[in-house]
Structure 1
């Protein structure tokens, strides 16, 4: 980004024009009548301050494109023709001031994106062939190893190759608490390393980094026209010619029909042109959209356009994918129930040693639990390990031949089968949404092992918050069996639960929800359930940070994989819609009120420009209130 010019340099024409107006008024006050120097200074102020306005205004008039610049050009030239030099100059200067304020407000709204651009450092300490040196990020290639010291910013996306630390990635994901990073974990450019020294293997070039994609997508979103803005553009298309017609009628009808003074009523007609300028109306929507999208990005929510922001504010029903959305998407050991006199710690070590040889996701849950408990399973020698396809596994540990797998598999292996009381216990666990495995030997049962996909701690709170916000229906869609679905659904508080669904079934449910409730959002992981996400009015992807698919397919991405951002996004969307409606209503209301002053002949260019500039300033400040919407 280029260096920003100082205010005086950026607004030289405005300041010079202002100085000329002050000098012109000085000459007026020191002489009895409007002197030639005052007229020349007013003319100079009009020319210098309004040069860019006239340039585009005249071009638009020649193309019969009657926008606000065309209206202002006609009004100012008309004021000069009838000798209202001072008011013509003031109109120019106030219009220029309103444009500076408008530019300032848009810059303020985009500040969060500019701050994102400056987040990632431009250089990094890289090790190549046992040598360490600082190089520019543009020279870093995939596979390079960066040395990131405590307190430093990470310059490129990568994965931790050595060391461990807590990393503050709030700028990318909106998470307030630093995330623990160990070998193999992903880190993002712009995040801040904590107290540990880490080595990061670069996985993406600087232009492909997550933060670069976020900046690009947010800038695109801020430039895209929202439905409200499209409405304003269509309205202005008819509104502007209508104002020109009204101004013409105000200027000519009273003198022609009622013997009015031509000079007075031409002046009134010019004032109608000025007050009719749709400046406030035109700025009312974009300033709100840009501000809201910038605020969302700062809080770890990527909104890919004003249309999606507005749609989110009208949602009546929300559908959730189960795995990875309402649940963590990572199986965890929930129960280890002894069925024998074996030592629990020793048996868990033997089971974990066997499961460590398996590639099954459920096996990983048992191994993770054993690691958490500090089990010595890695010291155990496993012999004759065999995976029994679709059933379980078997192997010998410390001279004992173990079998671990489904109840049906152990029913075949264990002498005398599984007792009814144990089957009742298994059925009870399965009803809670758990997958149950049985461990035993050929001579008897040893333990029941239950694994389940854990519900996110935030899921119930988020669903309750959505209902508080007026969402009519929350529905969980899953391919899991009815028992698991019921257990998870009841635990999260969703109003409806649908199980045993194929992707096409989920799509059909989204369409039926749209018929029943109108606008529907689908929340998923951005990889599975693509048809349902695409069919919903708003597709919300979990965990957009570092996930290309989520960033590309979703309308909105929750960067930190944090479901609590969903109510915040809905709150921000509704606030944005409310402010846009307020701005449009206020802009049109002020115009109508000022135009009513024409009837008694009280409308002046001063009142007209103050009404126009004042309305622009008020709608701008109202839009900037969206910066204050917090993630609570």
Structure 2
């Protein structure tokens, strides 16, 4: 948030904490609780900020009061009428005045529901909860049960308000995410800054980002260094320091210095845009339980109405002392009890709460159906590089045959690897340095799962794994399995030239992830295209049950098919383009969204935004807790309703018990559903 006062500009974070104060060309930063230099400026703005916060709080409170106002009016009128009826009993409180009084008490809460009932009928949804409540309460008035008729509708209206507030709370996390993208950005053109719509910015434009401002598009950092708050994308509040040339993403908040960013992606193609699209579409993908309840309610409600009619009419033929008003009362109680709102509201709210809790923690579910599936996962299959390891390789040593020039071979390898975006290629480039432009490559070819081939100076150059050497019948005099590091084999002019060893480090929370998966009773399997010795080394260190290396993309697919033949539900976690087929095959595909390729993110069902393996068991736990809460609500609603329905039909339950069975159970179910948003995973 930015407040402006004369020549001063003040920037706050989402919690109202001041990040910095800009006075003309000077920037004063608030960090680690230290005082901002310009105390007068900050004091003025602090007052402005407090005033704005108070105004926002006042608007929120007024909105809630407005929502409860009809219920408050009805409650006051109802209590006065009950007091007149049972205590004061004034002479002027005649039958007609009594009816009118209760009718006036009924209107604020009853009229909106009756209106909804007619609108639902107009849309073809005849047997809605609104119709049930309307019939029940109007029927209560018809047989002279005025207080109960008002009370039922009053409690129903209060329940609806609580439902609305609960849904708003459930949407809060997602709404916060949707608000992260700024509409305007400052770009630099001809050494001049100007503010433009973010959607109109082109690739290649330079964005100037002041402290406290959010980045509107993905880009490359041009400044030497800058720290960013990435909570909108990852759920992590820890600052992330980026260096010149590194990728920065839309939604990141610049923390401590003016930074310049070169735009590399169109506004609609940014990571944040894709995240927003995923979240907005997530609620459209319904879980099987949710779909069943919706279908059930459509069949259940007409049956309930029919049973209510039968309860009223059938006893006439079998009961000797039949009294119409008595049996109609029982039928009305039956209608109130049977209203399915506890199920229809609380179950979608439970799933929505699960999606919101996940997004708050940097995990995106593409639909509530995947919350159900991930809760039952028995085997998590994961890639190694970029998933359980950092994916940042470093050259350890270069071992070449004496007849080859180390300098010349490395220059050729560097030139060839520049054709690849693989992390290994990046490591070699960082080790060797600038590409020698005098080296000409012809007939460059990438051989999937093997490496690269090209013609240099009329001779064939091969760079890849030892399977590439075998494929081209290159003989070598070492056992690749005896070396733990990742090996890059090199052959030139049909002869084995040597190899480069490259190492990757295990992610700091990888061990936590595996330990938590085991605690959940989930099996773990690692599949990788890297050499078997490296894969086994990483798997043994982390305690992963099964590990397979030297796999091509189709081999990964076959391994997952093998696991699925054992009737196990499988989640696959990966980040590379070659992981997309196996992600699609698994029951739940999980993509590492930070470093992950667009193809894998597009194919995946769940996206982990900060690439942390520890979010895998967290996602499973969120799915389990969501499913648990949903089934608690189903059992609670059906259990209470079944008991009170029998009592109501037998004349042993009054309208007050019916109110508890409907509105009371609905409120309990809603309170249970919103629990997931307060849970710590």
Structure-2-length-normalised TM-score:
0.76
Q: Which has the higher contact order (CA 8 A, sep 6+)?
A: 1
Q: How does 1:155-194 map to 2 (within 5 A)?
A: 155-194=216-255
Deviations 1:585-609 (A, max 9, x none): 0010110121232366231112211
Relative distance call for 1:107 and 1:384 in structure 2 (3 A) is closer
Match of 1:571 in 2: 621
Match of 1:267 in 2: 329
Q: Which moved more, 1:571-580 or 1:164-173?
A: 164-173
Match of 1:373 in 2: none
Match of 1:435 in 2: 487
C-alpha distance in structure 2 between counterparts of 1:590 and 1:427, whole Å: 64
Match of 2:186 in 1: 125
For structure 2, the 5+ residue unaligned runs are: 1-55, 445-451, 467-474, 492-496
Mapped pair 1:93 → 2:151: no
Mapped pair 1:284 → 2:346: yes
C-alpha distance in structure 2 between counterparts of 1:534 and 1:458, whole Å: 26
**Alignment RMSD:** 3.9
Match of 2:662 in 1: 612
Mapped pair 1:152 → 2:202: no
Question: Which among 296, 299, 321 is matched to residue 358 of structure 2?
Answer: 296
C-alpha distance in structure 1 between counterparts of 2:463 and 2:155, whole Å: 80
C-alpha distance in structure 1 between counterparts of 2:128 and 2:251, whole Å: 42
C-alpha distance in structure 2 between counterparts of 1:534 and 1:254, whole Å: 59
Match of 2:427 in 1: 365
Relative distance call for 1:13 and 1:142 in structure 2 (3 A) is farther
Relative distance call for 1:572 and 1:222 in structure 2 (3 A) is same
SS of the residue corresponding to residue 104 of structure 2 reads helix
C-alpha distance in structure 1 between counterparts of 2:656 and 2:464, whole Å: 85
Relative distance call for 1:598 and 1:364 in structure 2 (3 A) is closer
Question: Which among 49, 59, 62 is matched to residue 109 of structure 2?
Answer: 49
C-alpha distance in structure 2 between counterparts of 1:427 and 1:226, whole Å: 46
Relative distance call for 1:123 and 1:12 in structure 2 (3 A) is same
Give yes or no for contact 1:526–1:553 (8 Å, CA) kept in 2.
Answer: no
SS of the residue corresponding to residue 395 of structure 2 reads strand
SS of the residue corresponding to residue 318 of structure 2 reads helix
C-alpha distance in structure 2 between counterparts of 1:326 and 1:556, whole Å: 17
C-alpha distance in structure 2 between counterparts of 1:324 and 1:139, whole Å: 34
- 1:406 positional shift: 9.7
- 1:296 positional shift: 0.7
Give yes or no for contact 2:187–2:208 (8 Å, CA) kept in 1.
Answer: yes
Mapped pair 1:313 → 2:375: yes
Mapped pair 1:69 → 2:130: yes
Relative distance call for 1:134 and 1:19 in structure 2 (3 A) is farther
Match of 1:31 in 2: 89
C-alpha distance in structure 2 between counterparts of 1:349 and 1:327, whole Å: 30
C-alpha distance in structure 1 between counterparts of 2:233 and 2:125, whole Å: 46
C-alpha distance in structure 2 between counterparts of 1:355 and 1:61, whole Å: 73
C-alpha distance in structure 2 between counterparts of 1:120 and 1:325, whole Å: 27
Match of 1:554 in 2: 604
Relative distance call for 1:526 and 1:22 in structure 2 (3 A) is farther
Match of 2:590 in 1: 540
Give yes or no for contact 1:316–1:517 (8 Å, CA) kept in 2.
Answer: no
SS of the residue corresponding to residue 517 of structure 1 reads coil
C-alpha distance in structure 1 between counterparts of 2:490 and 2:604, whole Å: 41
C-alpha distance in structure 2 between counterparts of 1:48 and 1:288, whole Å: 30
Relative distance call for 1:336 and 1:196 in structure 2 (3 A) is farther
C-alpha distance in structure 1 between counterparts of 2:310 and 2:368, whole Å: 39
Question: Which among 262, 273, 277 is matched to residue 212 of structure 1?
Answer: 273
Give yes or no for contact 1:405–1:438 (8 Å, CA) kept in 2.
Answer: yes
C-alpha distance in structure 1 between counterparts of 2:398 and 2:627, whole Å: 52
Question: Which among 515, 520, 525 is matched to residue 464 of structure 1?
Answer: 515
SS of the residue corresponding to residue 651 of structure 2 reads coil
Deviations 1:30-50 (A, max 9, x none): 435654233113223333322
Give yes or no for contact 1:137–1:155 (8 Å, CA) kept in 2.
Answer: yes
Relative distance call for 1:606 and 1:382 in structure 2 (3 A) is closer
Deviations 1:322-358 (A, max 9, x none): 3322333343234579999xxxxxx999998897666
Give yes or no for contact 2:226–2:257 (8 Å, CA) kept in 1.
Answer: yes
Q: Which moved more, 1:163-172 or 1:42-51?
A: 42-51
- 1:312 positional shift: 0.4
Mapped pair 1:622 → 2:672: yes
Give yes or no for contact 2:486–2:530 (8 Å, CA) kept in 1.
Answer: no
Give yes or no for contact 2:110–2:153 (8 Å, CA) kept in 1.
Answer: yes
Match of 1:21 in 2: 78
Give yes or no for contact 1:167–1:179 (8 Å, CA) kept in 2.
Answer: yes
C-alpha distance in structure 1 between counterparts of 2:272 and 2:426, whole Å: 32
Match of 1:587 in 2: 637
C-alpha distance in structure 2 between counterparts of 1:79 and 1:323, whole Å: 68
Mapped pair 1:238 → 2:299: yes
Mapped pair 1:7 → 2:72: no
- 1:169 positional shift: 0.7
Give yes or no for contact 2:382–2:526 (8 Å, CA) kept in 1.
Answer: yes
C-alpha distance in structure 1 between counterparts of 2:97 and 2:595, whole Å: 64
Relative distance call for 1:12 and 1:136 in structure 2 (3 A) is farther
Relative distance call for 1:66 and 1:34 in structure 2 (3 A) is farther
Q: Which moved more, 1:104-113 or 1:30-39?
A: 30-39
Relative distance call for 1:449 and 1:221 in structure 2 (3 A) is closer
Match of 1:398 in 2: none
Structure-1-length-normalised TM-score:
0.82
- 1:108 positional shift: 0.2
Deviations 1:218-275 (A, max 9, x none): 1221243211111212322332233224333433444542324332221121011001
C-alpha distance in structure 2 between counterparts of 1:252 and 1:304, whole Å: 50
Relative distance call for 1:214 and 1:404 in structure 2 (3 A) is closer
